[in-house]
Amino acid sequence: MLFTDSVFRPLDISKSYWNYVFYELADSRTKNLFLVSSPATILLILGSYLYFVLKWGPEFMKNRKPYELKKLLMVYNVCQIIVNVYIFLLGVKVSYTVNNFFCMPIDYTNSELAQLFIYCFHIYFINKVTDLLDTVFFVLRKKSNQISFLHLWHHCLMVIVTWMAVKYIPGGQLGIVGLVNSFVHIILYSYYFLAALGPSFQKYLWWKKYLTRFQLIQFCLIFLHSSLIFVTDCDYPKWAVTICLPNAIFFYYLFYDFYKTSYTPQSNHRNGQKIN
């Protein structure tokens, strides 16, 4: 009996801890949303994603010619533009209901406005999952030089962070991240659409280097707005901002390093790298 207890007790504790963290602490309003219920689903998606882009995909393409995918990429980029415009407009609609942009607590009721916040967060999260296709297309086109640490880290972390936001804190202060980021992605995917049209459009893409500057400004805005939680008496989970801020700093560093390496006079230009 003692032996059995010593074997199964750690399993019971682990199960209880799992249920507490991923179910009891979670927002009950989002538990049945697509891809939100269990972390196992997201871990499976990200595990499959990394396995494909780092191992199986390159091996599959090793002795094959790159797929052109021009029409598919054009459709994909247009869809991304439409989705991000939709998310941005939803964010603007929600913004009109905010009384204080410096302090945006979470509405835990089932009001129409609270449900709209949840919907916005969920759509934004799903969009971050579909963003993983960017890397899949790189593999199929044999653009391995564009699959950088920055690219993989950014895509994986955005899926994890937005999943956590929907599951635990769907609304409030960090909603500004989705608003700003969706606007940035409208511009990014517009650029990618034009670039996919072919060399004849390259002369219209002189503003490419400003995309990274735009993203650096984005991280600064997110950092400053999120930091207000610590200097105001705002009823918003500080643990969420504590996770957000270091990542904003880290992303800023990585994107700035990319910009410095790619676009400064001393750099060896790595043309065409996609970093969204």
Name residues whose C-beta falls within 8 Å of residue 18's C-beta, 6 or more positions apart in sequence: none
Beta-strand ranges (E) seen in 212-260 are: none
pLDDT digits (tens, 9 = 90+) for 43-75: 999 999 999 999 999 999 999 999 988 899 999
Question: Which tokens is 8 given?
Answer: 């199964």
Averaged pLDDT of the chain: 85
pLDDT of residue 177: 87
pLDDT of residue 9: 60
Tokens 């002189």: give the residue.
Answer: 206
Domain residue ranges in the chain: 46-263
pLDDT of residue 155: 93
Q: Is 154 a catalytic residue?
A: yes
Question: Which tokens is 196 given?
Answer: 């996919």
Q: Please give the C-alpha separations between residue 183 and each of 78, 172, 176, in angstroms, as whole numbers.
A: 14, 18, 11
pLDDT of residue 11: 61
pTM of the model: 0.86
In the predicted structure, residue 27 carries a pLDDT above the cut 70? yes
Least confident of 111-115, 195-199, 257-261, 264-268: 264-268
Q: Which of 154, 155, 185, 225 is catalytic?
A: 154
Closest CA to 80 of 32, 132, 38: 132
pLDDT digits (tens, 9 = 90+) for 189-206: 998 888 888 777 777 787
How far apart are alpha carbons 220 and 168 in whole angstroms? 25
